[in-house]
Every structure is written in structure tokens, then in C-alpha cells.
Amino acid sequence: MKPFFKISLMCMDFLNIAAQIEVLNEEFDGYHMDIMDGHFCKNITLSPDIVKAIGAIAKKPMDIHLMTTTPNDWIDSCAAAGAQIISPHAETINSDAFRIINKIKGKGCKAGVTLNPATPLTYCREYLGKIDYLTIMTVDVGFAGQPFIPEMLDKIREAKKFREMNNLNFKIMIDGSCNKNTFGKLHLAGADGYVLGSSGLFSLDPDLRKACKKAKEIFMEETGVKL
């Protein structure tokens, strides 16, 4: 499987959104859009209105990461705003996980589920066969720039093994500190996709197009995978 990259828009320059989206449309595979409610994690970032505004110029799929206590309250508005993928947290849906996943797919979106670092894979094992993406957080939720949690490598290996043993098709995406220091380890553990934020993209060069080129070069150097 060819690696894929989604860009964390909470890390972008909000004074130059349109110009940055124009560059990113040509460079990567999609947009990772964090919606936080200030309750599930103590921060507030993007919103369905921003998803709708960016969707008017985005040429790649928008993946909504719902860091919200009640994800059911956000699915309709995110789908209406143009989301192609919606990924709530397993910690918030296990009382009605199958109903939530079916609702997301009923809106014409692909369904994902996200695991916090301290949440084991077994927490969502029963519905891994119904999702398109499993996002494994390798930092605690809420804020960019946190240090990588190395214990998550075992969870990635476990998810890959479980997928193979059960002949499932979900993609394993990593969110948190995907950069030069971690690309090689994440690739070897079994990651399929990577969310690039501050350390993996935006801090590499003031010129975003040059930063994109550097990010790809770094990934290829650290993993040996040709993009």
C-alpha cells in the first residue's frame, strides 16, 4: 500500500488559508480537520463552518476528526459541510458505536474511529470490520507540538496483525508527531498514513511549497519508500 499523507489544518497559517490550500491541493492526499468542543479535550479549533469554507477550494478529501464528547451532534453538520470522512473517538461512541458508524456511512461518508494513547485496541475490536480508517493517536489529544509516545508502536503492530489475521481492510493512520524522528519507526510498525502538522510540515520552511518538498524527502530518507 502506498503511504498517504493528510495535512492537519489546525497547524496552518490562518491568515493565509486560501494560499496554503492552493499549494496543498497539489502536494498531498487530503486534509485532517480537528473539531474540538472544549470538553472532550481542553481546546477549540476548527468548526463545520470552516470545513464548508475550505471545502469550496479544497481538491482533496476532508477527514474530520471529532474530538467531541457527543459526536452524534456533529455528524450531520460536518457531512453537510462537505466532509468525505468522519472519525469520532472510540471513547465517545462505545454505547452506540454501530449506530454512529452506520449514520456516518448513511451520509455518504467513509467512517473512521480514533483511539487515544491510553485506550487499547480491544476497545474497538468488535467494529473494526465496519470502518475505513483506524487513527491511532501517538500524542495526547488537544494540542499540537507534543512529544511522541513510543508505547504506541506496539498498538500499531497489534492493529496491523489483527487486520491481517481477520482479513480486514481498514487503513492505519497515525496522528501526532509524525516527522523525521518517527517516520521510520511508524513505517516499520505498520502505519499506512500520516497526519502532518507543525513538526512534520509547517515548520520545515517558511515557503510552504518548499516545506512540502522537504517533508517528502525526509519521509523517503527515513523509510526507504519512494513516493
Active-site residue, from 34, 37, 63, 192: 34
Query: How far is residue 12's CA from residue 80's CA, in Å, rounded to a whole number?
Result: 23
Q: Is 37 a catalytic residue?
A: no
Query: How far is residue 101's CA from residue 6's CA, in Å, rounded to a whole number?
Result: 21
The DSSP 8-state label assigned to residue 16 in this structure reads: S
Query: How far is residue 166's CA from residue 121's CA, in Å, rounded to a whole number?
Result: 14
CB distance 171 to 210 below 8 Å: no
* 3-state secondary structure at position 191: coil
Instruction: Determine if residue 190 is left, alpha or beta; phi over 0 gives left, psi from -120 to 50 gives alpha, anything else beta.
Output: left
Query: How far is residue 56's CA from residue 93's CA, in Å, rounded to a whole number?
Result: 30
Active-site residue, from 49, 175, 205, 207: 175
Q: Is 175 a catalytic residue?
A: yes
Per-residue CA distances from 115 to 61, 140, 223 (Å): 21, 10, 24
Query: How far is residue 69's CA from residue 91's CA, in Å, rounded to a whole number?
Result: 9
Active site members: 34, 175
